Chain A
Amino acid sequence: DTGVSQNPRHKITKRGQNVTFRCDPISEHNRLYWYRQTLGQGPEFLTYFQNEAQLEKSRLLSDRFSAERPKGSFSTLEIQRTEQGDSAMYLCASSLGNRSTYGYTFGSGTRLTVV
């Protein structure tokens, strides 16, 4: 399968714990995006990578959030000191740089529940 892969699919954590999610984009896609989706809302942009460079971050991404994309391949999103308000679906998407107008390919998401 050459789609976007996200792990884990589900994560339940206690408030105050740190969590890390992983996204493996389509191998030839150089652009990678993280979105967050809460119940009853559409996905909200968090951050964008072109290759290994993080080029844009939303103000939604507080200093407890950090994202990396070492070597321009997979990406990780870490949330430190989780809060109940962090409970959401975290979606990763990728696209080709020179064909980014063709729409994103999304992964199935990681659902985070903070208890």
Chain B
Amino acid sequence: AQSVTQPDIHITVSEGASLELRCNYSYGATPYLFWYVQSPGQGLQLLLKYFSGDTLVQGIKGFEAEFKRSQSSFNLRKPSVHWSDAAEYFCAVGARSGGYQKVTFGIGTKLQVIP
């Protein structure tokens, strides 16, 4: 079964600083990888996804992520963080299960942005 590890439960960065959120996955085949963002009391919004091809993927809100097969990683990056980026970020891996995509989430990383 697939699994996701997000080693950082909580990260604090200054506004304008760069950001990298770590994600490691476990899956026997080529994974489908996602990053979602969740604001307090809200559902999850898809930031970006990787299925194949270019290992550097661009998403919404200026985020990007890089798939590194050798490290089983899919880290999320942003060059300059804005106060509105404060939220919880979930990495997820999708795997084929009975003909559909079953998505498994990590426990999330809560991002705090300080002035």
Interface residues of A (CB under 8 A from B): 4, 6, 31, 33, 35, 40-45, 48, 50, 55-56, 91, 93, 95, 97, 100-109, 111
Minimum Cβ distance to chain A for residue B51 (Å): 6
Contact of A109 among B43, B49, B94, B101 (CB under 8 A): B43
Interface residues of B (CB under 8 A from A): 4, 32, 34, 36, 41-46, 49, 51, 90, 92, 94, 97-98, 100-108
Q: How many pairs of residues, A versus B, come closer than 8 Å at their CB atoms?
A: 63
Answer whether A42 and B51 are a contact pair too, CB < 8 Å, given A91-B44, A109-B43.
no
* B107 engages A56 (CB within 8 Å): no
- Provide the bound-state CA to CA distance between A24 and B14, in Å: 39
Minimum Cβ distance to chain A for residue B59 (Å): 11
Write out the residue numbers on chain B whose beta carbons fall within 8 Å of the beta carbon of A31: 100
* B46 engages A56 (CB within 8 Å): no
- Provide the bound-state CA to CA distance between A55 and B100, in Å: 10
Contact of B103 among A4, A41, A56, A104 (CB under 8 A): A104
* B34 engages A103 (CB within 8 Å): yes
Contact of A43 among B44, B51, B97, B98 (CB under 8 A): B44
Minimum Cβ distance to chain B for residue A60 (Å): 13
Write out the residue numbers on chain A whose beta carbons fall within 8 Å of the beta carbon of B42: 108-109
Contact of B102 among A4, A40, A56, A91 (CB under 8 A): A56
Starting from the known contacts A40-B107, A44-B105, A55-B100, 16 additional A-B residue pairs (CB-CB under 8 Å) come to A6-B43, A33-B103, A42-B92, A42-B107, A48-B100, A48-B102, A50-B100, A91-B44, A101-B32, A101-B49, A101-B51, A103-B34, A104-B103, A106-B45, A107-B43, A108-B42
